[in-house]
Amino acid sequence: MTTLFDPFRIGDIEVANRFAMAPLTRNRSPNAVPTELSVTYYTQRATAGLIITEGTAISPQGQGYADVPGLYAPEQLAAWRKVTDAVHAEGGKIVTQLWHVGRVSHESLQPGGSKPVAPSAIRAKSKTYLVNADGTGTFAETSEPRALEASEIPDIVEDYRRAARAAVKEAGFDGIELHAANGYLIDQFLRSGSNHRTDQYGGSIENRTRFLFEVVEAVVDEIGGGRVGIRLSPVTPANDASDPDPQPLFEHVAAGLGTYGLAYIHVIEGATGGDRAFQQGEKPFDYAAFKSAYRNAGGTGAWMVNNGYDQKLAEEAVSSGHADMVAFGKLFIANPDLVRRFKEGLPLNEPRKETFYGGGAQGLIDYPFAA
């Protein structure tokens, strides 16, 4: 019987166990550059089979929150190299999550104070995180976006390609995860609630998925499918994401992804950070059919699940074949040695929510290891 502690191969990446550290925004990279705190933070958690970094912007335009890291400037790549070298020295494996937030941004975070970009000029009913002049953090309503011209889209695809190449060849990551979930740019193109376009990128499911597949093809061409994962959230309402009929949309996505030889598919089940049974539309989402659409199209990548998993639920998911890996978020924030705690039945630290976003070492690297 397969267990959480069994080694595994994810595409081209050999991992020590079935634990993944989920991507977790922590807002502690001033000027979009990771610090020595990031080195310590990720190295403390290197016993995870796979670390997925916090969302990392592919361009200045892709930034949507204060003090989140980037992958587009030499100083950022050099800083990330310190992280990957340290994690590898501890025997860990680490990929970075490539992020373009689209409309989930604020004019103060955009180059020249310009409007954020989106498939359509529809403001997200959501908030972003800003840093005040005195250094304190605050949440603010997102700014009204402008609709991307079709002629601009190839440049964003190239931003993804460049970021993937830089991540692996310069920053030393084992691979990348495309953030196509939680109402950010790729997800905005997928969903009819945020995509009202009438050109080749809007309307039909085939058109709304076009941008996603262009990005996937670009990064796979650049670094190989065995080093590419993708995160999807079929029914989450996060960041005002909505579609009245997600089942055919995401089965089409899954079938298309099955042809690229990807390392893994990372699925958020239900509402991100909330109700696992959440649904959009009239019917509950059929995750088994979603997975089957991927497998039937030839997809061999690991199936990674996320959202509200505790040890019991995770063990059942892996032993039953529902999933190959399980991603843990808040549990890894509070328990850098989560793998050991699960294996030895040790009590868990409780996460301190007030320190999730912004700040310094407190709430980032000061959670104790088990004695």
Q: What is the dihedral of CA 105, 111, 114, 117, to 10 degrees?
A: -50
Residue corresponding to tokens 């689209």: 102
Identify the three-state secondary structure at position 353: helix
Residue pair 16/91 in contact by the 8 Å Cβ criterion? yes
Task: Output the furthest CA–CA distance in the chain (Å, rounded).
Answer: 60
Identify the three-state secondary structure at position 309: coil
| DSSP run (H or E) holding 20 | strand 19-21
Residue corresponding to tokens 């032993």: 319
Contacting residues for 132 by C-beta, under 8 A, at least 6 apart? 138
* Nearest of 110, 96, 21, 131 to residue 64 by alpha carbon: 110
Q: Tell me which amino acid residue 110 is.
A: Q
Residue corresponding to tokens 């992958």: 71
| DSSP run (H or E) holding 156 | helix 153-169
**Could you give the CA distance from residue 283 to residue 185 in angstroms, rounded to a whole number?**
26
| Active-site residue, selected from the candidate residues 129, 184, 260, 287 | 184
184: annotated active-site residue: yes
**Could you give the CA distance from residue 230 to residue 99 in angstroms, rounded to a whole number?**
11
- Residues serving a catalytic function are 184
